[in-house]
Amino acid sequence: MVSEESPLLVSTAYEAIYDRFAPHQKRWIVCLVSFVGLLPMFVQSTFVPSIPQIAKDLNLTHAVVSLAFSLSILANTIGALVWAAYSSFYGRRSMYLWGMPFVCVGSCGVALSTSFRSLLFWRFVQTFGCAGAMSLGTGVIGDIYKLGERGTIIGVFFSVTLFGFAVAPFLGGAATQYWSWRNLHYCLGAWGFLEMLLVYLSFPETSHPGTLGIDKVMRRRWVHITWVNPLSSLWLLQSPNLFAVMLASALVLISSYVLLVPMAYTIGIRYGITNEAIIGACFFPNGLGNFTGALVGGRLSDTVVRRWQEKRGGVWCPEDRLRATWIGGLIMVPVSIGASGLITTYIGGPIGLALNILCLYVNGVGVDSVLNPISSYYVDVVHSRSAEATAAYMASRFLIISAATALVIPSIERIGVAWTDIIAAVLALIGHGLISLTIRYGDRMRASMDVGFSTMENN
């Protein structure tokens, strides 16, 4: 009798978990976490165009001020791990509210900086505070949307946040050129304060009831502070499949950084663009491509999951979602980055610039049509620790990218733009190969190192 009723009970419990919030509440939650997710994109991307003005105001060299950008990558890595780890204990809402004061204070500190030391310190505080937005947002969506729906919603989330990546460099360059980099950071601080108010007034806790660490504490103090190891989530990457797709995403994403980081020295010099606002505007096609790729990749990955589940008679295989990466990973990314290098080297004038802009857009579409299914895959396969898994994935990816981007300009100076971009294209193809191996041998890879993988019943 128990065995006959168990499937029905499991199904009912499964439905009830995701029906806690009405559809209009879910839409508001997604809007809010997407708005929060925009801020780190502006914090990161508006800084680069303002480096020359900051260097002039603080009497520093461009290379020295660039260290603040490198430090922000480290702060982003540490912050993502910290906020995600503590969100599994205290909840998503608490971590949003704890992080935003860091953003407000850090932004004002950056704006008031009068020395390199103070700039580095407050830049770290500012970036650390907003570093959890992406992993927490992904975790929230995993909390409130079912398996066959969350890929599309994660696509919407990433498309909105990546819109910031598209417009932030232009706005940062324009603010620096025609206003003040200090006022820009005051505005970022005000943005963080507005977000804190919205979260406090209208954001509910989305974690599944009874799953938080604080829920299991028998004797709880009014202010209960518990040490949570932020590095514990990195243990998840012991799993071969999680490590493989993380490495694949880094190899694919490197192509965008190879195009964007040296833009002032490649497209800028090649086509005579010196205005900081115009160089910032050249980032827009790639960001627009990211926006498009995230939307398309998210919906496509949900469609692929449902179709393959039907083919298997209702049996779910997590790696099916990765099949949505084929077009982007095998064709769009390597072709766009390779073509851009050749065009920059051999085609001048307006035609060369127009073709490069097209390559930037195609690269953006391709990269996010790969990254979005991978992000959704992480939520699917380790659903109970989705924010932590996403943070580990993003933090590790950023460390790899930060090391790789340090070699971009030296590589261009030594072997040229064309060969540097071709190497990036080869790396992207290697990344796609890792995804293909994970699709084919995913069940064996998960079996070799079980880190608490989800099943259909608890997903």
pLDDT at 382: 86
pLDDT at 459: 65
Structure-model confidence comparison of residues 244 and 221, the more confident one: 244
Radius of gyration of the chain (CA): 22
**Is residue 9 in some structural domain?**
no
100-104, 174-178, 347-351, 391-395: least confident range:
174-178
Q: 427-454 pLDDT, tens per residue?
A: 999 999 999 999 999 889 988 888 878 7
32-36, 242-246, 381-385: least confident range:
381-385
Statement: residue 141 has pLDDT above 80 = yes
Burial 337-350 (b: 16+ CB within 10 A, else e): bbbbbebbbeeeee
Region 387-391 average pLDDT: 83
pLDDT at 14: 59
Cα 206 from Cα 195, distance rounded (Å): 17
Structure-model confidence comparison of residues 58 and 29, the more confident one: 29
**Is residue 383 in some structural domain?**
yes
**Is residue 212 in some structural domain?**
no
Confidence of residue 8 (pLDDT cuts 50, 70, 90): very low
Per 3-state DSSP, what percentage of the chain is helix, strand, and coil (rounded to 5)? 85, 0, 15
| CA 175 remoteness from chain centre | 25
pLDDT at 291: 85
As for how many domains the chain has, the answer is: 1
Average pLDDT, the chain: 84
**Is residue 73 in some structural domain?**
yes
pLDDT at 223: 61
- Cα→Cα distances 271→112, 290, 348, 365, 417, Å: 36, 24, 7, 24, 14
Cα 264 from Cα 77, distance rounded (Å): 26
**Is residue 369 in some structural domain?**
yes
Confidence of residue 215 (pLDDT cuts 50, 70, 90): low
Cα torsion for 289, 295, 300, 302, to the nearest 10°?
150
pLDDT at 71: 75
pLDDT at 213: 64
pLDDT at 286: 87
Confidence of residue 295 (pLDDT cuts 50, 70, 90): confident
Of the candidates 412, 129, 166, 95, the one whose C-alpha atom is nearest the C-alpha of residue 268 is 412
pLDDT at 9: 43
pLDDT at 399: 83
Region 178-191 average pLDDT: 87
Question: In which domain, by residue range, is 56 found?
Answer: 23-205+232-458
What ranges in 113-239 are assigned the alpha helix state H?
116-130, 133-144, 147-178, 181-202
Of the candidates 103, 104, 95, the one whose C-alpha atom is nearest the C-alpha of residue 75 is 103
**CA triple 159-165-171, angle to 5 deg:** 130
Cα 126 from Cα 40, distance rounded (Å): 9
Q: 89-104 pLDDT, tens per residue?
A: 888 898 999 999 999 9
Structure-model confidence comparison of residues 300 and 55, the more confident one: 300
**Is residue 214 in some structural domain?**
no
Task: Note the pTM of the prediction, 2 decimals.
Answer: 0.80
pLDDT at 324: 92
**Is residue 334 in some structural domain?**
yes
Structure-model confidence comparison of residues 436 and 22, the more confident one: 436
CATH number at 400 reads 1.20.1250.20
4-13, 68-77, 267-276, 349-358: least confident range:
4-13
Region 230-240 average pLDDT: 85
pLDDT at 86: 86
Structure-model confidence comparison of residues 344 and 175, the more confident one: 344
Statement: residue 198 has pLDDT above 90 = yes
Statement: residue 419 has pLDDT above 80 = yes
**Is residue 440 in some structural domain?**
yes
